[in-house]
Amino acid sequence: MHSDFSHLALRAELIQAVADAGYTEPTPIQDAVIPVLLSGQDVIGQAQTGTGKTAAFGLPLLQNIEPGLGSVQGLILAPTRELAMQVSQAIYTYGKHLGVRVLAVYGGQPYARQISRLKKGVDVVVGTPGRLLDLMRRNSLDLSGVRVLVLDEADEMLSMGFIEDIETILAATPAERQTALFSATVPPDIRRLADGYLRHPQSITIERRQRTVSTTEQRYYLVNLADKVAALTRLLETEEISRALIFARTRVGTGELASELTALGFPAEALHGDMGQGEREQVLGAFAANG
């Protein structure tokens, strides 16, 4: 693997944006996928979250469109609101020196705001299948100008029952578009989808031993249940941690842990499925802002 992004034939503006984001070298999936997508080929990428796949498809997408035409040229489908928000923010970050206009669309947000943005002109749309289909039915989303289409976490979208929605969306895009499909696994349903909608795709798999990012250190501690909070606060006190994402077993547990940590002087917020979309966005926004 090369030590920087300069060998990948990316535009200077994209390389600068990557450098601004603090990335010094491409991950294996980026090294393998970016040249293929830049060449115009379709891709099936088998890689899990945390491998850098958003940049792997996002940087070529940004290079292969022309910002400012007033039509949607890049379309990215994601299974959840949270992933759509995360991917759209990443695309905006990578395309900031190109003036790319990015819009995330998902349920739980007013239609009027999304429709207004689409009328003003958007270069890249990132969305969940259900909301994308709703906007198409309202004649507010025109996909006839799509050049690059990405299915992110395709296996998750199929497991959530989105297969018919996905096929309807794909059918509304030009046949000559470039398509990239990313999935942690490639079961028969994914293979059938690829056979039907991708043109001679190149398959790229990141081996399981590589799926943990090499720069991530992993440790575990065996502690008694009664000592878990004490052990956690000890880590927060002794390690240089600016932000932390802590998983709890239950929704109630997330709230209790957040309250305990806050009382001990570690500002924390809970994030779980019982919260409204506005509350979740507020927590995620505060988490991103404190990085």
pLDDT recorded at residue 211: 43
For residue 127, list its beta bridge partners: 77, 105
Say which DSSP state 7 is in: G
Q: For the chain, how big is the Rg over CA atoms in Å?
A: 20
For residues 208 and 269, what is the distance between their CA atoms, to the nearest angstrom? Answer: 33
CATH number for domain 225-289, candidates 3.10.20.440, 3.40.50.300, 3.30.420.40, 3.40.50.2300: 3.40.50.300
The domain at 6-210 falls in which architecture? Answer: 3-Layer(aba) Sandwich (3.40)
**Domain 6-210 matches domain 225-289 at the CATH topology level:** yes
Cβ atoms of 231 and 204 within 8 Å: the answer is no
What is residue 285's predicted lDDT score, i.e. its pLDDT?
75
CA distance 165 to 161: 9
Q: What is the pLDDT of residue 290?
A: 66
Query: Domain locations in the chain?
Result: 6-210, 225-289
Tens of pLDDT, residues 122-155: 999 999 999 999 999 999 999 999 999 999 999 9
pLDDT digits (tens, 9 = 90+) for 242-284: 788 888 878 788 888 888 888 888 888 888 777 777 777 777 7
Specify whether the CB–CB gap between 105 and 135 falls below 8 A. Answer: yes
Please tell me the pTM assigned to this model. Answer: 0.73
Average pLDDT, stretch 110-118?
A: 94
The whole-chain average pLDDT of the chain stands at 88
